[in-house]
Structures are given as structure tokens and as C-alpha cells.
Amino acid sequence: MFSFFKSKPAPEPDLPAPALPAVKPHAPLPPDEPANVDATVARPGWAQRLKQGLAKTRGRLGGQFFSLFGVGRKIDAELFDELETILITADIGVDATQILLDTLQKKVRREGLTEAVDLQVALKQALVAMLSPLQAPLDVTSHKPFILMLAGVNGAGKTTTIGKLAKLYQAQGLSVLLAAGDTFRAAAREQLQVWGERNNVTVVSQEKGDSAAVIFDAIQAARARGIDVVLADTAGRLPTQLNLMEEIKKVKRVIEKAAPGAPHEVLLVLDANTGQNAVAQVKSFDDALGVTGLVLTKLDGTAKGGAIAAIAQARSAPARPIPVRYIGVGEGVDDLRPFDASEFVDAIFQFEAA
């Protein structure tokens, strides 16, 4: 269902619950599929879509890895120098690359490895070990409503991610409400409205006004209607826009007043195309909001998928690791899935079909 909620901007002090207007029913839109799709042709499974989505990242590594780890080549200093260049070129980052190389060198000495082909297996294992701390599926059933606040820079894909998450949670049998908290960009509200109609969920929105007010109303509406999950959009902003960073802090404070203990998850949406810059974004938004989870989008459009290793290393112990809750590898509504370190690395290393 789809609805507009009109409200005045909400101040930070405690507010009485707003009156909730009736929700007007709307007919759901047709499925989000091109008209020429043959319904008898099954879509590839997730493993295959993940592999296809990481094709550019894999392509950047594939040819070089074939020559580096070719049969008959021996492990020597030159091989490690070449491997260092390849990993940095793949946007894995200097620090993460150094840790991977140190891990491999220790394994070579410990196990007496001599063949380069054995080093490829060891590299894959080391990369899985580095990324595994980021693997932590999100449980949205611990609170009702479970309130997710999404943040990120302009163009990272927050609004699309919200629509995909709504579909994902609905598939789990949960009811969802969307809060159109990006009150600066009219297209964001319209986009959420389309998702709301397509998925038959309520959208709380207002044409102008305060983002915090919209989300406050959405939480009250979710409580009144027994909704399971609230997905709260916010306007995109750069970490250098200090006034906007202060504003998003206010949004979080209002959420806390509307529902003590909320938001239950602060998701930072990252565009994989930003590569190493994602590390700086994580730090800035975490300092401002206390980010609890990451979403890495648009992996299918970049060769910089290795940046996830840089994110892992930047947040390694003793720092608090921020899990990658979801990754996106396509434009389809089901192309956003929970992050699995082994699946991710397997898809990168399947060079034979790249």
C-alpha cells in the first residue's frame, strides 16, 4: 500500500504521536521486468550472478594471475614483487596488500612451498581470512519495529538499496514501511513511492520539510500498524559538508527519542566505484553516527571490488570491525544479498570462465 503523511517538522524534544490518516489502497504495479523477458527462461542462481557481477574485478586480476601462478614457476622475490603490484592495482590497498604478503611469506617459510601454483591457493585462503570478520548477517527480528537508518554520499544507491531491502524482507515474511527521509531530492521521494507501489508497502513522505519529522512519523505509524521493519532514507551528503553531517546527527537523535534504543542498525551505503575513498567515507560517517553495518553497491560496474579488503584492514583489531551486511551486483531487485566472504573470494578467483 502507498500513502503520504503530512506533518510539521518535528523538534528534538519528545512529541506526542501524530494522528495517523487512513492509508489509501493502490493497485500494485506490474513486476519490475522488461517486457521482452522470456518467462520460461530461469534467471541464473545467486552464485552465477555474483560471479558475473564481479567480472570486472576478476578481469583485472585474471590474466596477471595466470602468468604469475603459472605451472612450473617457482616462488621467489620477483614473484612477490609482481604480486604486490597486482594487488595494489586491484584496489586492495597498500596496508591490506602488505598483510596478505606477510601472511603468504610466513606460510612459504613454514610449509616449505616452492611452486607458485601453491601460492595462489594460499592467497585465496588469506583473503577469506581477512574478509571473514566482515561477514555478519543482519537479524531484523530482534525488535519490532526494527528501525534501519541508511546514510551515504550522493549517488551511492541508498534509495535503490531501500527498495531491494524491502523486497528481501518481504520474502522473509516481514512487513515493511518506508520513510522518505531524503526531503532535499524530489526524485528520491518519487523513487521510493514507486518501490512502495510495486512492493505494496506504505511510504511515509512529505513534499517539503524536515527529514527527522518524516522518520518520526514513520516510526509512529509502524508502531500503530504492527509493522516489522522500518527503512529510513536520508539525503546524500559528503563528509566534508559539516552542516549536513550535523543535520544527520540530529536525525539519529530524533529516532532515539521516537524509539529508545533505535536506530537498531545504521547502514552506510558505499558505491564500489569509489574504491579506496570508501575507507575514508566509513571513518567519517562512523565518527558522526556510529555505523553498525555497510552495504557495498554497484560491484558489477567496477573493477575496484578489491577495496573491500582495504575496508576490512582499516577496521581490523583493535578497531571495531563494521560488518558488510549486503553487497549489490546488479540492477535486479534480487541482486542484493548478504555478504559471504567465501562466496565473494570464490567468485573473484574463478578465472577460467572470466
Q: What is the pLDDT of residue 39?
A: 39
- H helix runs in 14-76, sequence order: 46-53, 55-68
Tell me how far apart the alpha carbons of residues 6 and 1 are, in angstroms, rounded to a whole number.
17
Q: Please state the pTM of the whole predicted model.
A: 0.83
Q: Can you tell me which residue has the cell 523538534?
A: 11
Q: Is the sign of the CA dihedral 310, 312, 313, 315 positive or negative?
A: positive
Domains of the chain: 1-8+47-354 (3.40.50.300)
336-338 and 324-328 strand pairing: antiparallel
Give the tens place of pLDDT for each residue, 29-51: 333 333 333 433 456 788 888 88
Q: What is the pLDDT of residue 226?
A: 97
Tell me how far apart the alpha carbons of residues 119 and 57 are, in angstroms, rounded to a whole number.
20
Nearest to 137 by CA among 329, 325, 343: 325
Q: What does the block give as the cell for 257?
A: 527519542
- Give average pLDDT by consecutive 10-residue segment, the chain, 354 residues: 40 44 36 38 74 80 73 90 89 90 95 90 92 94 97 92 94 96 83 87 85 94 97 91 92 95 96 88 93 93 83 75 91 89 88 46
- Whether residue 300 contacts residue 327, with contact meaning beta carbons closer than 8 Å, is answered with no
Q: What is the pLDDT of residue 43?
A: 67
Q: Is the sign of the CA dihedral 287, 290, 294, 297 positive or negative?
A: negative
Tell me how far apart the alpha carbons of residues 285 and 106 are, in angstroms, rounded to a whole number.
36
- Whether residue 48 contacts residue 350, with contact meaning beta carbons closer than 8 Å, is answered with no
Tell me how far apart the alpha carbons of residues 324 and 98 are, in angstroms, rounded to a whole number.
22
Strand partners for 150: 267
Q: Which amino acid is at 25?
A: P
229-232 and 336-338 strand pairing: unpaired
Q: What is the pLDDT of residue 97?
A: 93
Q: What is the pLDDT of residue 47?
A: 81
